[in-house]
Amino acid sequence: MNDPVTIREEDLIETIADALQYISYYHPMDYIGALGEAHAAEQGAAARDAIAQILTNSRMCAEGHRPICQDTGIVNVFLKWGQDCRLESGRSLQEVVDEGVRRAYTDPDNTLRASILADPAFTRRNTRDNTPCVLDVEMVPGATVGIDVAAKGGGSENKSKFKMMNPSDNIVEWVLEQIPSMGAGWCPPGMLGIGIGGTAEKCIKLAKQSLMEPIDMAQLKERGARTDIEQLRIDIYDAVNAMGVGAQGLGGLATVLDVKILDWPCHAAGKPVAMIPNCAATRHAHVTLDGSGPAYLAQPDLDAWPDVRWEPDAEAKRVDLDALTPGEVASWEGGDRLLLSGRMLTGRDAAHKRIKDMLDAGEQLPVDFRGRAIYYVGPVDPVLGEVVGPAGPTTATRMDKFTEMMLDQGLLAMIGKAERGADAVEVISRFKVAYLMATGGAAYLVSRAIKASRVVAFEDLGMEAIYEFTVKDMPVTVAVDSRGNNVHTLAPLHWRRKIREEGLLAAK
Ligand SMILES: O=C(O)C[C@H](O)C(=O)O
């Protein structure tokens, strides 16, 4: 028996903290490579523009060491703990790893967003330091500790799917049934992680773990499948991309950049299948501790980013939010590019819930929404003289149930990401207002358009407070116009047909 290797508490904390900081601003290079290829191949103009924003944002974050997305995620840590290692600590492993999370998320040079709420069914209190993480530990032979760290965005996690299938059910068919219901809230193009087999909880864990693997679909397709699982990955990849959802649901050729699958033996009575998408803010890294000190990740080469520099569309229409009128809003058409300047309000899940509670109780609202635009966002706190940290859009679909209530307050426009549901689209056209979309996963780029920021209500909600932003040339696209034309429905249908009729993906 070997002498045990000592893993110092501080080394584990420092390693976790450093890896979380790293993945907040560096995309994995395999993702950047695949996204660069998707950009070069994309034929849908709106989708190509969205990918260009994501790539430009990615480079800015790598250079500026600020988060790729305002949603800096819930932390998943997978430890493969070598049986010859012992942790030198009086605290539990969960507490030690959480200390690393706390250190990363409260770093004064690159403060990350605290998104974790305790007491999720009731008071939903923000823990303020993004702890606790979701920790998974597996004991393995050896004298090292393998660490996979991921920071999973809420929008993509929300679109996770799971089914206890019958043994003879078809997995590809099930995946294709799920894609329309996932909409664009998971910020495609990204990855699909699929778990097959085990029990219910094992299957879901496999799906999440599969997302830790690097993107290699191009290489796989080139050499051809050697196993049934590899063939299934290719079949799902081809079939999902043929659906034409495209980047941000705007219709196009790239919906998924890869499909990963892990499997495990299961009971004869069933076939559990889970699918978890990973968004454009793909964030994960792997490090190993061997007892010699903390492990640090190597800096990527900034020249490896594709030479894509997004610029606002010269044809985009400039809109003065301080002089917004119903006539102006009615003149916008689905697909129009706008550059917004002036003042807008913000608000997301918790603020909408509180507004509803106040209205139900007959209380006066602290903010007048008449004639205003609201941006669904929870920004990162500013650092080093910033006005605001990265501040990209959150999923608008979650605000659908509050839309009529808010339009009754006199709102003229809403800004978010992803599609609106049929009921919300009906309400939008009835009130003759509009829903505008900003690019999810381009949060640092978007925040450059924000010139001033102040909290105007519900300060206790932290990032979910109502802010007033003053913006200059913030780029958005009209996703639902005042006549109810809905880009997220029309564009994927158009691209699905085009892909089929013109064989656009046949050679890929
Ligand atoms: O929480 C957020 O800021 C965004 C969220 O991840 C979402 O995609 O809706």
> How far apart are alpha carbons 232 and 126 in whole angstroms?
41
Q: How far apart are CA 409 and CA 368, in angstroms?
A: 8
Closest by CA position to 469, among listed 368, 351, 357, 340: 340
What distance in angstroms lies between residue 222's CA and the mean position of ligand 1's atoms?
35
Higher pLDDT, 2 or 242: 242
pLDDT of 503: 87
CA-CA distance, 253 to 44, in Å (whole number)? 7
- 390: helix, strand or coil: coil
Residues 6 or more apart whose Cβ sits within 8 Å of residue 148 = 76, 77, 78, 209, 212, 284, 285, 286
Residue with CA nearest ligand 1 atom 7? 155
ipTM of the complex: 0.97
Summarize pLDDT for 360-370 with one digit per residue, the tens.
999 999 999 99
Q: Is the pLDDT of residue 89 over 80?
A: yes
Ligand 1 centre and the CA of 154: distance in Å?
5
Q: What is the pLDDT of residue 416?
A: 98
Query: CA nearest 215: which of 190, 240, 243, 184?
Result: 190
Phi, psi of 246 (to 5 degrees): 75, 175
Q: Return the pLDDT at 102.
A: 98
The reply to whether ligand 1 has any atom less than 6 angstroms from the CB of 71 is: yes
Residue 1 has pLDDT above 90, yes or no: no
Query: Can you tell me the mean pLDDT for 40-67?
Result: 96
Contact 271, 204 (CB under 8 A): no
Residue 459 reports pLDDT greater than 70 = yes
Report the chain's mean pLDDT, rounded to a whole number. Answer: 96
- State the pTM of this model: 0.96
In short, whether 394's Cβ falls inside 6 Å of ligand 1 is: yes
At residue 2, does pLDDT exceed 90? no
- Residue 508: band (very low, low, confident or very high) from pLDDT cuts 50, 70, 90: low
Is the distance from the beta carbon of residue 378 to the nearest atom of ligand 1 less than 6 Å? yes
Pocket-testing residue among 69, 126, 394, ligand 1, by greatest number of atoms within 8 A of Cβ: 394
Q: How far is the CA of 441 from the centre of ligand 1 (A)?
A: 9
| Lowest pLDDT segment from 2-11, 17-26, 77-86 | 2-11
**Residue-level pLDDT at 116:** 97
Residue nearest atom 4 in ligand 1 by C-alpha distance = 394
Give the number of the atom of ligand 1 that is nearest the alpha carbon of residue 69.
3
- Residue 60 Cα to ligand 1 middle (Å): 20
Is the CB of 155 within 6 Å of ligand 1?
Answer: yes
Tokens 């605000």: give the residue. 399
**Per-residue pLDDT reduced to its tens digit, 337-354:** 999 999 999 999 999 999
- Domain borders along the chain are 1-151, 154-280, 317-492
Fold of 317-492: fumarase (3.20.130)
The architecture (CATH level 2) of 154-280 comes to 2-Layer Sandwich (3.30)
pLDDT in tens, 417-436: 999 999 999 999 999 999 99
DSSP β-ladder status, 5-8 and 85-88: parallel
Rg, Å, the chain Cα set: 23
Largest CA distance in the chain: 80
Centroid of ligand 1 to alpha carbon of 227 (angstroms): 36
Lowest average pLDDT, out of 1-10, 74-83, 252-261, 327-336, goes to 1-10
pLDDT at 505: 86
Q: How far is the CA of 5 from the centre of ligand 1 (A)?
A: 40
Q: What's the CA-to-centroid distance between 184 and ligand 1, angstroms?
A: 12
Q: Which of 71, 112, 446 to mutate to test the pocket of ligand 1 (most atoms within 8 A of CB)?
A: 71
Q: Counting beta carbons within 10 angstroms of the beta carbon of residue 138, is it exposed (0 to 12), middle (13 to 18) or buried (19 or more)?
A: exposed
Please work out whether the CB of residue 477 comes within 6 Å of at least one atom of ligand 1. no
Please indicate whether residue 157, judged by its CB atom, sits closer than 6 Å to ligand 1.
no
Q: Is the pLDDT of residue 245 over 80?
A: yes
Residue 507: band (very low, low, confident or very high) from pLDDT cuts 50, 70, 90: low
How much is the average pLDDT of 138-158? 97
Q: Is the CB of 70 under 6 A from ligand 1?
A: yes
